[in-house]
Amino acid sequence: MKALDTNILIYSHREDSGFFDRAFECVRKLAEGSEPWAIPCPCIHEFLSIVTHPRIYNPPTPLDLALEQVDAWLESPTLELLSEQAGYWETFRSLLCSSRICGPQIHDARIAALCLYHGVSELWTADRDFGRFTDLKFSNPLIQ
């Protein structure tokens, strides 16, 4: 199962993104496909925070349109939302210790731990920082 990081979600939503066409197509194929795919819940929260932020986008996405976008993704019958459950803490704690990170990198560790805990085979992201999590396979679907 592939999971999507926040940046892929943003690029597939914001038509002013230089990666819009490629990201939109990647998300569309997953959402309309028959294979299971996933979005970590923190990525949805971060997506909403970024696309509606007036200092990041001018104009920002209105909240109602951003929520409609999330609703559209949630309509995919093969989508699984990844959230913390019993047993997650051990995965998260172990990942923090093995990758020796702290501070703002904790957010990426949370995404990585959710993916590992839920058995994600690959995280699609444009963020190379996920390379510090050696147990998680990741790739950038926007470049070939």
Contacts of 36 (CB under 8 A, 6+ apart): 1, 78, 79, 80
The answer to whether position 121 is within a domain reads yes
pLDDT digits (tens, 9 = 90+) for 88-143: 999 999 999 999 888 989 999 999 999 999 999 999 999 999 999 999 999 999 99
The answer to whether position 32 is within a domain reads yes
pLDDT digits (tens, 9 = 90+) for 43-80: 999 999 999 999 999 999 999 999 999 999 999 999 99
**Domain that includes residue 130, residue range:** 2-139
The answer to whether position 144 is within a domain reads no
Domain count, the chain: 1
pLDDT of residue 3: 98
pLDDT of residue 49: 98
Residue 5 · residue 126 · CB < 8 Å: yes
Q: Band the pLDDT of 81: cuts 50, 70, 90.
A: very high
Reported pTM: 0.95
The answer to whether position 25 is within a domain reads yes
Contacts of 32 (CB under 8 A, 6+ apart): 76
pLDDT of 144 higher than 70: no
The answer to whether position 40 is within a domain reads yes
The answer to whether position 85 is within a domain reads yes
Distance CA 118, CA 14 (A): 28
The answer to whether position 116 is within a domain reads yes
The answer to whether position 20 is within a domain reads yes
Q: 10 Å Cβ neighbour count for 34?
A: 6
pLDDT of 83 higher than 70: yes
Which CATH number do you get for residue 85? 3.40.50.1010
pLDDT of residue 100: 87
